[in-house]
């Protein structure tokens, strides 16, 4: 009996922009482009999270009580926010802001944007945005 091929997921490194495939079960990996460890799992924020950087190739969801205070947030597959974000945002997915969502930052760059009535945004918005693949060949 042939073994079923494991499901693959297409991702793009948030550090260098290299696209590659990983198993859907992979939570983190080393990027073949920049050789750095990157996170792939989805992130759920349910409380106050002060960090320097919040990065994943997956999705980020911020619930009503969630609040992220960071220098930068990078997500490969999109961000859904019902809470608050104080950070610059880069996502190759959709940036979704719920009716109570608040975003404050210098720039918000996303592939597409979905803003509910009532959401508050303060900063520069650049849409649509796609990460350019950096030339890592030396
Ligand atoms: Zn990389």
The 10s digit of each residue's pLDDT in 97-120 is 999 999 999 999 999 999 999 999
Ligand 1 midpoint to CA 130 (Å)? 15
| 3-class state of residue 102 by DSSP | strand
Domain range holding 59?
Answer: 42-126
* Interval between CA 133 and ligand 1 midpoint (Å): 9
Q: Could you tell me the pLDDT band of residue 2, with boundaries at 50, 70 and 90?
A: low
Identify whether residues 23 and 49 lie together within a single domain. Answer: no
Q: Compute the distance between CA of residue 83 and CA of residue 50 in angstroms, rounded to an integer.
A: 14
Q: Residue-wise over 42-71: b if at least 16 C-beta within 10 A, else e? A: ebebeeeeeeeebbbbbbbbbeeebbbebe
On whether both 23 and 72 belong to a single domain, the answer is no
Calculate the average pLDDT of the chain: 93
Do residues 62 and 120 both lie within one domain? yes
Is 81 in the same domain as 106?
yes
How far, in Å, from the CA of 31 to the mean position of ligand 1?
A: 5
pLDDT for position 16: 92
Structure tokens at 135: 């030339």
Spatial CA neighbour of 68 closest among 104, 100, 96, 94: 104
Of the candidates 74, 86, 77, the one whose C-alpha atom is nearest the C-alpha of residue 58 is 77
> Tell me, what's the pLDDT at 133?
78
Distance (angstroms) between ligand 1 centre and the Cα of 12 equals 8
**Same domain flag for 73 and 86:** yes
Full-model pTM: 0.89
Q: Mean per-residue pLDDT for 83-107?
A: 97
Ligand 1 centroid to Cα of residue 124, in Å, is 26
Asked if residue 1 belongs to a domain, the reply is no
Q: 101 alpha carbon to ligand 1 midpoint, in Å? A: 31
Give the Å distance between the CA of 33 and the centre of ligand 1: 5
Ligand 1 centroid – CA 15 distance (Å): 5
Q: What is the count of structural domains for the chain?
A: 2
Give a yes or no: residue 116 inside a domain. Answer: yes
Dist CA 60 CA 93 (whole Å): 10
How many angstroms is it from 111 CA to the middle of ligand 1? 19
Angle subtended at Cα 60 by Cα 56 and Cα 62, rounded to the nearest 5 degrees = 145
Q: Which pLDDT value is given to residue 138?
A: 47
Same domain? 67 vs 34: no
Q: Is residue 138 part of a domain?
A: no
Whether 129 has a pLDDT exceeding 60, the answer reads yes
Please state the rounded mean pLDDT for residues 76-100: 97
Judge if 12 and 52 occupy the same domain. no
- pLDDT score at 131: 81
pLDDT-derived band at 132 (thresholds 50, 70, 90) equals confident
């Amino acid at each position: 009996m042939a073994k079923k091929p494991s499901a693959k997921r297409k991702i793009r490194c948030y550090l260098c922009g290299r696209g590659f495939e990983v198993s859907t079960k992979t939570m983190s990996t080393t990027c073949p482009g920049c050789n750095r460890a990157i996170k792939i799992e989805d992130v759920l924020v349910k409380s106050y999270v002060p960090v320097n950087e919040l990065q994943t190739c997956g999705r980020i969801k911020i619930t009503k009580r969630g609040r992220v205070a960071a220098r930068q947030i990078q997500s490969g597959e999109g961000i859904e926010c019902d809470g608050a974000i104080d950070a610059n945002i880069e996502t190759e997915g959709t940036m979704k802001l719920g009716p109570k969502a608040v975003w404050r930052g210098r720039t918000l760059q996303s592939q597409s944007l979905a803003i509910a009535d009532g959401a508050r945004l303060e900063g520069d918005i650049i849409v649509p945005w796609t990460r350019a693949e950096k030339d890592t060949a030396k």
